Amino acid sequence: MNAVISARGLTYSYSRARTVLSALDLDVAPGAIVVLTGVSGAGKTTLLTLCGALRSVQQGNLQVLGRDLRGLEREAQRELRSSIGFIFQAHHLIDALTAGQNVVMSLLEQVSIADAAARAEAALSSLGLAHRVDALPNELSGGEKQRVAVARALVREPSLLLADEPTASLDDESADIVKAAIHAAAKRRSCAVLLVTHDARLFDIADRVVRLVDGQLVELCTRSVVSNLKWLGTLAKSKVS
């Protein structure tokens, strides 16, 4: 199956003195969850925003959802972004709208208001916010706002989810809810997920964990390695007892 993200030799600089991404290669398949780690300033957000057609490709090739992003026109970029779910650290909820209306807004181009309202309510319920549908953002806790932002990104049933620290401000219970929602999007709907996080609570849903070092990706772990480690751990325990 074709990769949802395919980067080859992707290079990006903000200035001549500092190349942030340096001939980077990346493939993300449909339904795969790739966790991206790296120190502050490594270029994780730069990579996410390139994949989300939020900044222009300078050098190398980047294909997202079958579109070549190099030189892609604005209208085509906008169209591509409508197939992508974004969860960024700043929630950008609209203060004058309720949680439900904020989620509805992201569906209005696709479906009728009645359908959008029903889907928004279901998305908020799946994130444990059924009782907060009519609350305004300033009546919500930081963690609740974050979950509204996750609902808003997932309700469109995107083919690609780009997420930057989606659980950073969440307690364990809320983090588990967000984790389950992301996992369900990937495994039930084949949504490809590129997830920037340092939150170890999310690592067990990852198919791959990669680290951005000196502008390139280093493979830290794949699902088969994780499975083998678990299996070896079980074997070791059974031999001891």
Ligand X SMILES: Nc1ncnc2c1ncn2[C@@H]1O[C@H](COP(=O)(O)OP(=O)(O)OP(=O)(O)O)[C@@H](O)[C@H]1O
Q: Which residues of the chain form contacts with ligand X (CB under 6 A)?
A: 14, 20, 38, 40-46
What's the closest the beta carbon of residue 77 comes to ligand X, in angstroms? Answer: 18
40 or 138, CB closer to ligand X?
40
What's the closest the beta carbon of residue 211 comes to ligand X, in angstroms? Answer: 11
Reduced to 3 states (helix: H, G, I; strand: E, B; else coil), residue 210 is: strand
Give the Cα separation of 186 and 192 in Å (integer).
Answer: 6
99 or 149, CB closer to ligand X?
149
Structure tokens at 96: 């004058």
Taking alpha carbons only, the member of 97, 114, 186 closest to residue 149 is 97
54 or 184, CB closer to ligand X?
54
Relative to beta strand 59-64, strand 5-15 is antiparallel
What's the closest the beta carbon of residue 109 comes to ligand X, in angstroms? Answer: 29
190 or 216, CB closer to ligand X?
216
Q: 140 vs 87, 146, 167, CA distance in Å?
A: 18, 9, 16
What's the closest the beta carbon of residue 18 comes to ligand X, in angstroms? Answer: 6
Write out 161-196 in H/E/C secondary structure.
Answer: EEEECCCCCCCHHHHHHHHHHHHHHHHHHCCEEEEE
What's the closest the beta carbon of residue 12 comes to ligand X, in angstroms? Answer: 9
Residue with tokens 């050098």: 59
36 or 177, CB closer to ligand X?
36
